[in-house]
Amino acid sequence: MDFAHSAAARDTIERMTAFMNEHVIPAEKTYFEQLKRGEDWTRWNQPPVMEELKAKAKAAGLWNLFLPEPEYGNRLSNVDYAPLAEITGRSVIAPEVFNCNAPDTGNMEVLVKYGSEEQKARWLKPLLDGTVRSAFCMTEPGVASSDATNMQATAIVEGDEVVLNGRKWWSSGIGHPNCKVAIFMGLTDPSADKHKQHSMVLVPLDAPGVKIERMLPVFGTLDEPYGHGEVSFTNVRLPLSAFIAGPGRGFEIAQGRLGPGRIHHCMRAIGAAEYALELMCKRAMTRVAFGKPLAKLGGNIDVVANARMAIEQARLLTLKAAWMMDTVGVKGAMSEISQIKVVAPNMATQVIDAAMQMHGGAGLSEDFPLTALYAYTRVLRLADGPDEVHRLVIGKLEFKKQAAKFGVAL
């Protein structure tokens, strides 16, 4: 048992941390000044500074690090990549800088594993280059998407075409001006086995019948220029080559897609919590009330101690889940992946909330990044499966394991 990072991880952590401090954090102010925000999402822009940062990150070899496949330039395992994801959690603009942001990472993984050569050439290449962006259209407004079999959108084969119909929402990143393609998931064959009924289809956003209806606010913010879109698909006709890996393989692909993404989300949440703890300490040490720094008043030191313990535990669990993905695969790490999906975002929202409280009213304003971090991590308690579904998974696997031990049938 060895809790030290590998030499490769240590080296990249060091370089990435330096890059964040030198380039990313100082550019945040410019980024938000260049960014056009507001309800009319068609006016959103890519702030020029982002393209400059991306070029620098690429030049520094800090690009596409999430991909373990050596042919795409990175040899980091999940457990080695995890601390890098944590670092990017300290800035909402960082993931794009390193081309490591959701849902592009998951979409690229899907194309690496399941894409045809044509699909790779047309979409994977520019995604890897960072010249286009993508969306993932799975969740639907009309049904409880925590149960994926509720899905009502369709991807029906008609002759040599696939026809898409339905309404999706929470399609994150779809508002970005560079977003050109989406992976759409829909029902193809209701008569097939339960997990072979659905397909994934690559849809260019300019295909006739695709309409972005609106952008959904989250805790009052639209997350410009990414956005969370509600999108309608009306008789969208595409060639059969638009299927990823062929009809009926949607669940199979979805299953594999989620593991690494959850590690990334959780590590970013941990990075956000760590950042909030730093801000909390700084505030506690420098703000004075009743003649003392807040750090010396009442239970404030306990708040800091509790935050430290919660962060350490969540991080170790997430690293272990990553290590299990590397050693026994997604299936073997299923309980652990669900565990971190519950633990990390809950921990992060609590730590960030405590940091807000330590900041007084300022903590709720935009003078500090805390409400933005809160919104980001609060979303994670629902995105990629709500806490409730993950607890169910954990509990079921636990009962299964124990039942085997006791020879009990449940």
- The answer to whether 405 contacts a copy of itself (rule: CB under 8 A) is yes
For residue 58, the minimal CB distance to a copy of itself (Å) is 27
Task: Report the alpha-carbon distance of residue 237 to residue 246 in Å, rounded.
Answer: 16
Exposure letters 137-169 (e unless 16+ CB within 10 A, then b): bbbbeeeebeebeebebbbeeeeeebbbbbbbb
Task: Report the alpha-carbon distance of residue 377 to residue 274 in Å, rounded.
Answer: 13
For residue 163, the minimal CB distance to a copy of itself (Å) is 26
Contacting a copy of itself within 297-356 (CB under 8 A): 297-302, 304-306, 308-309, 312-314, 316-317, 319-320, 323-324, 327, 335-336, 339, 342-343, 356
Stretch near a copy of itself under the rule CB under 8 A, chosen from 65-73, 113-121, 159-167, 397-405: 397-405
Task: Report the alpha-carbon distance of residue 376 to residue 378 in Å, rounded.
Answer: 6
- The answer to whether 208 contacts a copy of itself (rule: CB under 8 A) is no
Stretch near a copy of itself under the rule CB under 8 A, chosen from 158-166, 240-248, 256-264, 280-288: 280-288
Decide the pairing of beta strands 133-137 and 179-187.
parallel
- The answer to whether 404 contacts a copy of itself (rule: CB under 8 A) is no
Contacting a copy of itself within 63-122 (CB under 8 A): 79-80
Q: Is 239 helix (H, G, I), strand (E, B) or coil?
A: strand
Left, alpha or beta for 316 (phi > 0: left; psi -120 to 50: alpha)?
alpha
Residue 43 or 113 having the CB closest to a copy of itself: 43
For residue 320, the minimal CB distance to a copy of itself (Å) is 5
Stretch near a copy of itself under the rule CB under 8 A, chosen from 130-138, 142-150, 156-164, 175-183: 142-150
Residue 143 or 245 having the CB closest to a copy of itself: 143
- The answer to whether 185 contacts a copy of itself (rule: CB under 8 A) is no
Decide the pairing of beta strands 179-187 and 198-204.
antiparallel
For residue 124, the minimal CB distance to a copy of itself (Å) is 28
For residue 134, the minimal CB distance to a copy of itself (Å) is 19
Task: Report the alpha-carbon distance of residue 304 to residue 351 in Å, rounded.
Answer: 9
Q: Roughly how many angstroms between the first and final C-alpha of the chain, as a whole number?
A: 35
- Residue 387 CB-density burial (10 A; 0-12 exposed, 13-18 middle, 19+ buried): middle
For residue 262, the minimal CB distance to a copy of itself (Å) is 14
